[in-house]
């Protein structure tokens, strides 16, 4: 599954060597990043002109904190391939003014001319990035309060659940949807109900990922367990 997703990302880089990749964190993309690293080490892939924007970052965590998403990206991809770190972008979790940081990061995405390929995971509750179930689809980068289910899901990575940040910066639905192509990856039986909802359910902000039905170029890669409830 990771290899198939990595194939799509590598094809994008080969097609356009200065492409803009929207990247995700979490356990799902680790295998993808390992595969891309392997191909780069072999000389089959060149990241030297690639630009990246990450979906999200915890509010309050510095980029050196081992649970920050900047740290995750450096460890799992950026430090392992020939990318220019100045071309990699992650929200600043330690920004003093949340409103200004949201505007700054939105402008970063805009200044790149949009995202060529956006990689997504999907939360058990249907969140993409940290766009949690809500009454409306948030359009632009915003600060979000994480739901209890997301905090519980992420607590396995922290010493205790009390250490999990309660807020995050995340790209908005509008910015995700403006990507030219979207690649969404899901694995495991725990994701089966939400994958079924994504494919067969209606579009509604209570299931943020459902908006992807309105995008004209989405690829879903999932294993048999994640697809087990789909007709």
Tell me, yes or no, whether 162 lies in a domain. yes
Q: What is the pLDDT of residue 153?
A: 84
What angle, rounded to 10 degrees, do the helices at 30-41 and 2-15 form? Answer: 50
Q: Counting Cβ atoms within 10 Å, is residue 204 exposed (0-12), middle (13-18) or buried (19+)?
A: middle
- 132 belongs to the catalytic site: yes
The reported pTM is: 0.94
Q: Is residue 230 included in any domain, yes or no? A: no
Cβ-count burial of 42 within 10 angstroms (0-12 exposed, 13-18 middle, 19+ buried)?
exposed
Residue 228: inside a domain: no
The tokens for 103 are 């505007």
* pLDDT tens string 47-91: 999 999 999 999 999 999 999 999 999 999 999 999 999 999 999
| SS3 of residue 135 by DSSP | coil
- pLDDT tens, position by position, 172-193: 999 999 999 999 999 999 999 9
Task: Name the active-site residue from 57, 116, 127, 175.
Answer: 127
Residue 125 known to be catalytic: yes
Q: Is 11 among the domain residues?
A: yes
* Domain CATH for 193: 3.40.50.1360
- What is the 3-state secondary structure of 90-126? CCCCCCCCHHHHHHHHHHHHHHCCCCCEEEECCCCCC
29 within a domain of the structure (yes/no): no
Strand partners, 36: none
Q: Which position among 125, 138, 142, 175 bears the catalytic label? A: 125
Q: What pLDDT band is residue 35 in, cutting at 50, 70 and 90?
A: very high
What are the pLDDT digits (tens) for 102-133?
Answer: 999 999 999 999 999 999 999 999 999 999 99
> Is residue 25 assigned to a domain?
no
CA atoms lying within 13 Å on the CB side of residue 223: 10
Domain extent at residue 179: 2-17+37-222
142 is catalytic: no
> Across the chain, what does the average pLDDT equal?
95
Question: 231 in a domain, yes or no?
Answer: no
Give how many domains the chain has, as a whole number: 1
| Whether 223 is catalytic | no
Whether 165 maps to a domain, the answer reads yes
Decide: 15 and 65 in contact? Cβ < 8 Å: no
């Amino acid at each position: 599954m990771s290899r198939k997703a990595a194939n799509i990302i590598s094809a994008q880089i080969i097609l356009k060597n200065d492409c803009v990749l929207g990247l995700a964190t979490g356990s799902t993309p680790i295998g993808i990043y390992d595969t891309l690293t392997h191909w780069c080490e072999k000389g089959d892939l060149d990241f030297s002109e690639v630009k990246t924007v990450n979906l999200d970052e915890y509010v309050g965590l510095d980029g050196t904190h081992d649970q920050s998403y900047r740290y995750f990206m450096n460890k799992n991809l950026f430090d392992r391939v020939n990318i220019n770190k100045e071309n990699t972008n992650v929200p600043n979790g330690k920004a003093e003014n949340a409103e200004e940081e949201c505007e700054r990061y939105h402008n970063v995405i805009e200044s790149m001319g949009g995202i060529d390929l956006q990689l997504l995971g999907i939360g058990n509750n249907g969140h993409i990035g940290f766009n949690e179930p809500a009454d409306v689809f948030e359009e632009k980068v915003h600060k979000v309060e994480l739901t209890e289910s997301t905090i519980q899901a992420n607590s396995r990575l922290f010493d205790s659940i009390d250490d999990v940040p309660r807020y995050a910066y995340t790209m908005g639905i509008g910015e995700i949807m403006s990507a030219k192509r979207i690649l969404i990856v899901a694995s495991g039986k725990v994701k089966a109900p939400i994958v079924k909802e994504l494919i067969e359910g209606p579009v509604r902000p209570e299931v943020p990922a459902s908006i992807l039905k309105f995008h004209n170029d989405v690829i879903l890669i999932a294993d048999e367990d994640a697809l087990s409830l789909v007709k």
